[in-house]
């Protein structure tokens, strides 16, 4: 079966998705999220600490407002509970994991079939042209600049080859094996968490 | 009052793709602006949607909305995360509200009003989603700043869109077709 590298990555990601969504173990989800972040980095995506830290802190803090489980300590009369902290951290880690998994899945820009695929490909073609043309346009006044940009884009002949936008190179055996390994790691961590092999924090 | 059923030729894929790409470009500009939580958006990418209100028929408008959601998710890499649900819920609700207001009530409501209504619809849907997906009951605590921010940014976007529709030669040409 012939499938492009980009589409194989998309399929691999879809197989990995339930493993992190179904994970209930906090250590398990932390390991899964870390693995996915490394995976996204390996495929050229960037990691920014601050946005992830903000997600982790804001989601965890929001859950602290609903006390749940063992009382760890109090800030004034406000109780900090282990259950709420763990639930918030787990949800935040799932979100972070999904964000990076999603980034990994769309590296190489997968192609979609049919009319939808055609229009998305056209959209990305125009997008590439906008980013190129915009650099050469005088930005003030802004409405005039947007007019120039839109008129320029309309003059472009879109009938040419747009296939370079996606990685249409077919996946080889090595790609399949690496993909299988990633799926195995994510599901392995899910089962380790589910069967109590990984430590339970709360 | 404008008619909901405009008689237009078959779907103009290239034109819709162009507006979709324009939305994508504006969302990458927006992506560079730091935000406290990932699903908070200023709504710059709504400009092509608002422009499309006066230029597209219902089917084309729906395709543009889908392109905006898909394109944004592909560019930001959020297609398979919760974030796409926020984007989907917010964009669809605001597009629906804006489309109905533009076609049924634009005699009484300006583009600023349409923009505010769209932003409020989008923010309310996103708050409800964050209540069930992320924050629980605490979601209501972020509601006031979230709605105030949405109000402020939608007023700015509405004013800009109104000016664009008035001054843009490109828009006037398209609207007269």
Counted domains in chain A: 2
pTM above 0.90, yes or no: no
The predicted model gives A14-33 an average pLDDT of 90
pLDDT for residue A165 is more than 80: no
Range 32-61 of B in CB contact (< 8 A) with A: 36-38
* Percent of chain B with pLDDT strictly greater than 70: 86
> Tell me, what's the ipTM?
0.83
pLDDT for residue B170 is more than 50: yes
Q: What is the pLDDT of residue A179?
A: 93
Residue A96 CB contacts under 8 Å (≥ 6 apart), including other chains:
A33, A37, A52, A55, A56
Q: In which band, very low, low, confident or very high, does the pLDDT at A54 lie, cut at 50, 70 and 90?
A: confident
The predicted model gives B86-111 an average pLDDT of 91
Closest partner residue to A95 among B63, B81, B137, by Cβ? Answer: B81
In terms of domains, do A61 and A146 share one? Answer: no
Q: Could you give the C-alpha distances from B98 to A13, A20, B95, B106, B112, in angstroms and in order?
A: 35, 37, 5, 10, 11
* Percent of chain B with pLDDT strictly greater than 90: 42
| Alpha helices for chain A (secondary structure H) | 5-21, 26-42, 49-64, 82-105, 114-135, 142-154, 173-194
Query: pLDDT tens-digit profile of A24-48?
Result: 899 999 999 999 999 999 988 888 8
Name the least confident of A46-50, B15-19, B71-75, B94-98.
B71-75
**Mutual orientation of helices A142-154 and B169-176 as an angle, nearest 10°?**
50
The secondary structure element, H or E, covering residue B154 is: helix B139-167
pLDDT for residue A23 is more than 70: yes
Q: Which residue has the higher pLDDT, A106 or A141?
A: A141
Q: Which domain holds residue A73?
A: 1-111+168-202
Q: In which band, very low, low, confident or very high, does the pLDDT at A164 lie, cut at 50, 70 and 90?
A: very low
In terms of domains, do A176 and A186 share one? Answer: yes
CA gap A163, A109 in Å, rounded: 11
In terms of domains, do A48 and A90 share one? Answer: yes
The reply to whether A98 touches chain B by the CB within 8 Å rule is: yes
Task: Among B11-15, B43-47, B52-56, name the most confident range.
Answer: B52-56
Interface contact A127-B67, CB threshold 8 A: no
Query: Six-digit token pair at A147?
Result: 């007019």
Contacts of A91 in chain B (CB under 8 A): 134
| Every domain of chain B and the residues it spans | 13-176
Tell the CATH topology of B13-176. Answer: Arp2/3 complex 21 kDa subunit ARPC3 (1.10.1760)
Q: What is the pLDDT of residue B1?
A: 46
In terms of domains, do A61 and A137 share one? Answer: no
In terms of domains, do A82 and A10 share one? Answer: yes
**Mutual orientation of helices B58-76 and B13-31 as an angle, nearest 10°?**
40
Distance between B24 CA and the closest CA of chain A, angstroms? 7
Rg over CA atoms, chain A: 23
Among chain A residues, the shortest Cα distance to B25 is held by A127
Interface contact B18-A118, CB threshold 8 A: no
Query: What's chain B's average pLDDT?
Result: 84
Helices then strands, each counted (H, E), chain B: 7, 0
In terms of domains, do A187 and A92 share one? Answer: yes
In terms of domains, do A12 and A90 share one? Answer: yes
Q: In which band, very low, low, confident or very high, does the pLDDT at B137 lie, cut at 50, 70 and 90?
A: confident
Q: What is the pLDDT of residue A157?
A: 64
Strand partners, A4: A170
């Amino acid at each position: 079966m012939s499938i492009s590298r980009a589409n194989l990555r998309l399929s691999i990601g879809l197989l990995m998705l339930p493993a992190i969504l179904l994970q209930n173990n906090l250590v398990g989800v932390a390991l899964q999220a870390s693995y996915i972040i490394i995976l996204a980095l390996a495929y050229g995506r960037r990691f920014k600490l601050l946005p992830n830290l903000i997600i982790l802190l804001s989601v965890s803090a929001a859950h602290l407002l609903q006390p749940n489980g063992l009382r760890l300590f109090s800030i004034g009369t406000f109780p900090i509970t282990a259950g709420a902290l763990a639930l918030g951290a787990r949800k935040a880690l799932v979100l972070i994991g999904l964000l990076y998994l999603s980034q990994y899945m769309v590296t190489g820009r997968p192609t979609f079939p049919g009319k939808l695929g055609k229009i998305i490909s056209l959209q990305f073609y125009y997008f590439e042209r906008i980013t190129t043309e915009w650099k050469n346009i005088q930005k003030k006044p802004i409405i005039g600049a947007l007019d120039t940009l839109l008129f320029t884009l309309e003059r472009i002949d879109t009938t040419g080859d747009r296939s370079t936008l996606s990685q249409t190179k077919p996946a080889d055996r090595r790609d399949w094996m690496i993909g299988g390994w990633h799926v195995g790691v994510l599901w392995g961590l899910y089962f380790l968490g589910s069967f109590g092999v990984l430590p339970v924090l709360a | 009052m404008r008619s909901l059923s405009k008689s237009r030729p078959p779907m103009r894929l290239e034109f819709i793709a162009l507006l979709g790409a324009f939305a994508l470009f504006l969302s990458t500009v927006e992506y560079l602006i730091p935000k406290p939580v990932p699903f908070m958006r200023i709504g710059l990418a709504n400009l092509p949607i608002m422009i499309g209100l006066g230029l597209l028929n219902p089917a084309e408008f729906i395709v543009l909305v889908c392109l905006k959601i898909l394109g944004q998710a592909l560019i930001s890499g959020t297609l398979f995360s919760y974030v796409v649900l926020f984007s989907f819920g917010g964009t669809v609700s605001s597009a629906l509200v804006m489309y109905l207001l533009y076609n049924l009530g634009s005699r009484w409501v300006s583009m600023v009003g349409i923009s505010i209504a769209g932003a409020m619809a989008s923010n309310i849907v996103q708050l409800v989603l964050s209540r069930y997906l992320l924050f629980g009951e605490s979601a209501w605590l972020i509601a006031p700043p979230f709605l105030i921010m949405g109000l402020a940014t939608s007023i700015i976007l509405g004013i800009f869109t109104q000016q664009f529709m008035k001054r843009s030669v490109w828009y006037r040409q398209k609207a007269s077709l």
